[in-house]
Amino acid sequence: MGYSRALVDGEWIFVAGTTGFDYGTMTISESVVEQAEQCFRNIQHALEQAESGLADVVRVRYILPRREDFEPCWPVLRKYLGEALPAATMIVAGLSDPRMKIEIEVTARRRSGSLGQP
């Protein structure tokens, strides 16, 4: 399809819309909260490969097909981004697979010596 899961441009890291799939097993939970947890595990893995971490996230976008699914995810968002406190936007829109209940994309700014963890 012609895209990258993550792209590094100098100190900037752009992680594409990441879903709740466990990419190792290609399985996905039916729970939006569990999908949010998996999204962040996937994002954290991408950031670590770029020698960065969740503490470096400056921007996050959440995309959910159902707005009522967002509030149950708040504790997960706080767990992973409570230190970074990035600028955030939540969008209600359809996703490419009906099993997907949340998609998250982030922008991080790598700082020398940082490897932020939740």
- pLDDT 10s digits, 2-15: 788 899 999 999 99
Number of domains within the chain: 1
Model confidence at 118: pLDDT above 90: no
Residue 116 inside a domain? The answer is: no
Residue 4 inside a domain? The answer is: no
Which CATH number does the domain housing residue 39 bear?
A: 3.30.1330.40
Average pLDDT over every residue of 100-110: 97
Mapping DSSP onto H, E and C, the string for the chain reads CCCCCEEEECCEEEEEEEECEECCCCEECCCHHHHHHHHHHHHHHHHHHCCCCHHHEEEEEEEECCHHHCHHHHHHHHHHHCCCCCEEEEEECCCCCCCCCCEEEEEEECCCCCCCCC
- pLDDT 10s digits, 80-102: 999 999 999 999 999 999 999 99
Provide the residue range defining the domain that includes 43: 14-109
Q: What is the mean pLDDT of the chain?
A: 93
Residue 6 inside a domain? The answer is: no
